[in-house]
Structure 1
Amino acid sequence: MNKVFLLPLLLAMLFMYLIDRKRISNAPAVNRWVSRVLYVISIGIWIYGTSTKSTVYVATWLTRFIDMWLPTAL
């Protein structure tokens, strides 16, 4: 795992969370959970991307996941 790239991301995510902490705590409960889940998902994607040597892209998985909720093309 390439920890050199992981450390700046974790520091940036912590910095962003500390800056947005007041706004997140004042947000409705659903928005708080969504923002925290997005933080965790982004860290997970970064860890996956830096720890594997395969060329499977997370964006491909996310596209297929998002396509479930999109309407079919006209």
Structure 2
Amino acid sequence: MNKVFLFPLVLVMLLMYLNDRKSLNSAPAVNRWISRVLYVISIGIWLYGTSTKSSVYVATWLSHFINMWLPPAL
């Protein structure tokens, strides 16, 4: 996978964080914590996906983990 094509995704994520910074600072502490953890997890998934040659995609097993927390029918 070419890292050059994934660079715009990281740039957009950074711009989203900078754009949401004021609203995050005024949000309750729990929401700030969850939002920042999700940003860090997203960056970690991106780094793992671009630094390994593995065929195991983090988003796949992460979606199975998230699926356990969702209600049966949305």
Q: TM-score range by the shorter chain?
A: 0.7 to 0.9
Matched with 2:7 is 7
Structure 1 gaps of 5+ residues are none
Structure with more contact order per residue of length (Cα contacts < 8 Å, sep ≥ 6): 1
Question: Partner of 2:56: helix, strand, or coil?
Answer: coil
Which residues of 2 match residues 33-72 of structure 1 at below 5 A?
33-69=33-69
2:45–2:59 CA contact under 8 A, matched in 1: no
Cα distance, 1:45 vs structure 2: 0.6
- TM-score computed with the length of structure 1 as normaliser: 0.76
1:27-74 deviation digits (Å, cap 9, x = unpaired)? 0000001100111111111111111111101123213423544578xx
Give structure 2 stretches of 5+ with no counterpart: none
Partner of 1:23: 23
TM-score, with normalisation over the residues of structure 2?
Answer: 0.76
Please say which structure displays the higher CA radius of gyration: 1
Query: 1:24·1:31 contact (CA, 8 Å) conserved in 2?
Result: yes
**Residues paired across the two proteins, number:** 73
Q: Matches of 2:64 and 2:48 in 1, distance apart?
A: 18
Change (3 A) 1:7 1:59: closer
Identity of aligned residues (%): 78
RMSD (Å), alpha carbons: 2.4
